[in-house]
Structure 1
Amino acid sequence: MKKIGISYTETNFRNYWNWFTPEELGEDIELLELSFQQNNSSDFQYCDGFVLTGGIDVLPELYGGAKDYPYRPEIFLPERDEFEKEMYIYAQTHNMPVLGICRGMQYINILEGGTVFEDNGEQLNLVHKKGTEDKVHGLSLVPGSLLHLTTGIENGTVNSAHHQRVHPDHLGANLMISAYSEGEQPIIEALEFEDKSNKAFMLAVQWHPERMQEKESNPLSQKIKERFIKAIKESKK
């Protein structure tokens, strides 16, 4: 039985869990909750791939960020940061598939030596930061990227609920940009490995495919999930 390890988040964790339907998982794959609260890093060994979820900002000290900035959370979760760092390192050491979502994408960039902007600024926050509901905006995919080949589209629509973003001048090692937001101030919306030789599947997206509207018919949710599940089934630990 294959297992997908999903990192616990204090924000809408069940959305990630329920995104993977019983029909898609079948009898071959099951889900496993991985949590700093349970301190169950020993369960990494049972997993065949990982989902790094969204949630609270990464501790700014981890990327040389400012201690104070707009929309800074009242508290950080350094225990979660450390737990997910171990998870990502385990995945890369054992050549296992990874899907990063929102904070997950930002943290992958940080873990690979890159940085993020502590806050997008008010103008970008009008486009990207969640209000009572997720924002929605257009997306342009980089032709020939894994994301483009996975989804089969060059343009699409995604949801948005973040106030931080990956710094384009400080990408992590061996990372390439595979999508940008559309509009006057495009930002990085997806990352993947540039040199994919000897690397397992890895896609990291800034949007929330697990809760976007019409996610079953939007390739920027459904096709990504299908490709990730395929990578899990093909995973050889």
Structure 2
Amino acid sequence: MKKILISQRRDKILNRNEERDGMDVKLAAILFELGFLPIPLCSELHSAEGYIEAFNPDAILINSGNDIDEFPQRDRLETRLLDYAKIHNIPVLGICRGTQMMNHYLSGTLSPVTGHVATRQKLIGEWAKDNDYTDVNSYHNFAITNETIAPELEILATTADGVIKAIKHKNLPWLGIMWHPEREPVLPKADKKMLVKHLAGI
């Protein structure tokens, strides 16, 4: 099974005086059912020497949750993950915040956006058409636009209001999506195809 390292959201649990990493359990189940070995990472080990290297991952998933700069530990871990992926030329998939982090890592920025929380958005673009996408779920307050996208990234799909919903790196096997396959009641066929094709590197 190909090993997929997954970054997690980080949350303060005030009534227990704790900070926790976590992710939607459905995402791990989806990956496992598709033949991957999901390995969630601990953001507190953001500076632990050899932490990422010890797993010898086949691919990396930069997950959703949290805004950039909300938890510097998570930001630093994901920066290290992208460094590793760049050096070793392995696939990276960004989901929502993960896509934003890829853009941030490459010196892109974000813009506030309205109308993209708890909605469905139609995808526009040849990539969406070729991969059988019509509409997708949407849960984000910040967006990548034509004006804020990093130069090393290419736009794959947008919405009617110009918000970028899918990107890829021009030279590296990095793909970012601004929707959540794990939040669908049943995994859409288009997402299943995308996950297998991209994370398996085929």
TM-score by length of 1: 0.72
1:164 is displaced (CA, Å) by 0.5
- Cα deviation per residue 1:13-37 (whole Å; 9 max; x = unaligned)? 3232122133x21xxx422111213
Task: Report the equivalent of 1:190.
Answer: 166
Runs of 4+ in 1 over 3 A off after TM superposition: 10-13, 38-41
The DSSP-based 3-state class of the residue aligned with 1:191 is strand
Indicate which of 36, 43, 49 corresponds to 2:59. Answer: 49
Q: Pairwise mapping of residues 158-237 of structure 1 onto structure 2 (< 5 A)?
A: 158-182=136-160, 185-194=161-170, 196=171, 199=172, 201-217=173-189, 219=190, 221-231=191-201
Gaps of 5+ in 1: 60-75
* Greater strand content: 2
Determine what percentage of the aligned residue pairs are the same residue. Answer: 26
Instruction: Give the Cα–Cα distance (whole angstroms) in 2 for the partners of residues 41 and 161 of structure 1.
Output: 34
Q: Relative to structure 1, is the Cα distance of residues 86 and 163 closer, same or farther in structure 2, using a 3 angstrom cutoff?
A: same
Q: 1:216 to 1:169 in 2, by over 3 A?
A: closer
CA RMSD across the alignment: 2.1
Contact 1:6 1:17 in 2 (8 A): no
CA distance in 2, matches of 1:138, 1:205: 13
Residues 230 and 12 (structure 1), Cα distance of their counterparts in 2 relative to 1, 3 Å cut: closer
Question: How many residues are treated as equivalent by the alignment?
Answer: 188
Q: Secondary structure at the match of 1:42?
A: coil
Amino acid in the other structure paired with 2:89? N
Matched ranges for 1:73-112 at <5 A:
76-112=70-106
Cα distance in 1 for residues equivalent to 2:151 and 2:50 = 27
Match of 2:108 among 114, 133, 138: 114
Contact 1:114 1:167 in 2 (8 A): no
Pick closer, same or farther for the CA change 1:164–1:90 going to 2, 3 Å. Answer: same
User: 2:178, 2:63 → 1: CA distance?
Assistant: 10
2:19 pairs with 1:13: no
TM-score (norm 2): 0.83
Consecutive unaligned residues of structure 2, counting only runs of 5 or more, are 11-21
